Structure 1
């Protein structure tokens, strides 16, 4: 069986799940479902990079799993299980870690800005009518405002060309092709379907390959580059907006009951927010929720069993703890690991 990028990423994701999650859990994670469970799975199992990056339709997802199972690389029981043959297909480093993840959205948001800026400035400089290559209204408005601040378009074009040229020479030929063929100037760049047909690659694998190429391009650019400066104001927050509001109130000194009452949050929703804050906040008052001895016991159990399964951890505990407290400990454990 051909090992396409889609199959490889799904296989790597299943490996990270340590035989502890169902196909439904993986489907929601790949879709980027912003539920407490999916966000935790992405965080606990090192899958934030793939969160939301494979928005497969259910039948296509089932097809990929069937292909992996038919190849003997996975088993589908109550949970998704890796076989020894599947483990032999894994390389290092994992491909999925180069995807970035829509949990942040920074690389693709920056691509939209860069591609539309280039197209707009080239066409305006040549006084040529064009249909914007990006239709996102927020991106189009941002580019309009930004162009007004460009004093000399020819200088801007030359600077961007030089930065891209130097960066692309540090990538593979295929990565450089993926980026340059997508860019628009006086001529519109190729769409993903057009590029997929030209390169003979399935559409979704090509889209993932492009994301990887663009992220690698960004990494080799100088920190003070003009291209990277176009993304200085892009939101890098990992928390959901609702959890961020709860965190802001906590920092202002409100207690958990006060926040729950003020925001009319159910107990379960408030707990989900606290776990999410514990996952992403640089500093978190964990002592308000878990005693030091409880924290240490959970850490010892999860290290000994090599698991993030809440049920398995709770069965091993000698101290009384609820699932919320275990989740809080696991969230901080990943932060500090």
Structure 2
């Protein structure tokens, strides 16, 4: 799986677990921080089905092939051979169009609901009641069932067709491969949908990139459904996030914007102060432009920290004599942003 090479650098050592956790959307402040520093934050959740075993086997294979080198801290860099290989493959790598919406929804859940809903409506349009439904999680199956019950007495077939037609036109204008794959991978009456191998061959992209393309499709559908009323919006609306922050962090952020201190927020929410600080660190990483940095980390504190912590923020080492870890991480994030990283 040489496509993983795109997440590594020849000049910058990168933590292999951060890359794994980013692709699987394991959201810790550390993962979010380093993903931002590595400029791969928008890939959050792009490969949720990736297993630790497959990931480690791939990394070991890249090392054995001389494409990656790993130190004892589990940080990896491209070798000269790896950098050369990546350069050769760059023009053939799938370039996402909608990854800026990485925060909007869990694309696995979107995909499950979408494909079952399409199958149900397709079979319904043919009057078919006896068929094997797509195997998805029980919760998503109930959600689709409820959605269909609410809509089947209306002209659901035509309404869903119109919704998908508008979506398809938008995808076609952005990248025809998105529309082609989406409408060929769907399961319907007497149609089983493309396999990964078929998609790879017909779209002329690597097997590994099919996963990234389909994640892109689901983000595109989510962005569309978020903005346009219709059957798709009804189906997906409960899955959409309000912002890049998780729900608890968003509540904390809203209270912070109102002027409450960390202590006051912790007391009001009955949470530990460290939890509130984690929420604010998440906000600093994900929505830095919405923060009042002079209040969060006053200028005099930044000046004091700047006398000790200099150079590339990714190379710093925490010193508990100079600041709390919360202040250290805030300053590290701040410098990473102001340096254009």
Gaps of 5+ in 2: none
1:207 to 208, 211, 214: 211
TM-score (norm 1): 0.73
Q: 2:46 is matched with which residue?
A: 53
Contact 2:97–2:174 (Cα < 8 Å) also in 1? no
Cα distance in 1 for partners of 2:174, 2:283 equals: 37
Correspondent of 2:190 among 187, 190, 205 = 187
Greater displacement, 252-261 / 95-104 = 95-104
Match of 2:114 in 1: 114
| 1:24 paired residue number | 17
Distance 1:250 1:93 in 2: 45
Q: Partner of 1:288 in structure 2?
A: 295
Note the 1:272-311 alignment, pairs <5 A.
272-281=278-287, 282-295=289-302, 305-311=311-317
Match of 1:122, SS state, is: helix
1:328 aligns with 2:327: no
Asked if 2 retains the 8 angstrom alpha-carbon contact of 1:167 and 1:221, the reply is no
The TM-score, its normalising length taken from structure 2, stands at 0.72
Among 229, 233, 243, the alignment partner of 1:237 is 243
Root-mean-square deviation over aligned CA pairs: 4.2
- Count of paired positions: 322
Deviations 1:144-167 (A, max 9, x none): 454434732343244145335535
Could you report, residue by residue, the CA deviation over 1:117-168 in whole angstroms, capped at 9, with x for unpaired residues?
Answer: 3322222232212444363445444444544347323432441453355356
Partner in structure 1 of residue 2 of structure 2: 7
Separation in 2, partners of 1:165, 1:244: 33
- Work out whether residues 30 and 53 of structure 1, in 8 Å CA contact, stay in contact via their aligned partners in 2: yes
Shift of 1:273: 1.9
8 Å Cα contact 1:243-1:273 kept in structure 2: yes
1:155 corresponding residue in structure 2: 158
Contact 1:20 1:309 in 2 (8 A): no
Task: Give SS of 2:33's match.
Answer: helix
Decide which moves more: 169-178 or 235-244.
Answer: 169-178
Q: How has the CA–CA distance of structure 1 residues 219 and 49 changed in structure 2, closer, same or farther, with 3 Å as cutoff? A: same
Once the two structures are superposed, residues 276-328 of structure 1 have per-residue CA deviations (whole angstroms, 9 ceiling, x without a partner) of: 122234522333342214436878998x73442341xx68xxx9444322322
Of 51-60 and 164-173, the range deviating more from structure 2:
164-173
Q: Structure 2 vs 1, CA of residues 86 and 98 (structure 1 numbering), >3 Å: closer, same or farther?
A: farther
**1:257 pairs with one of 253, 258, 263:** 263
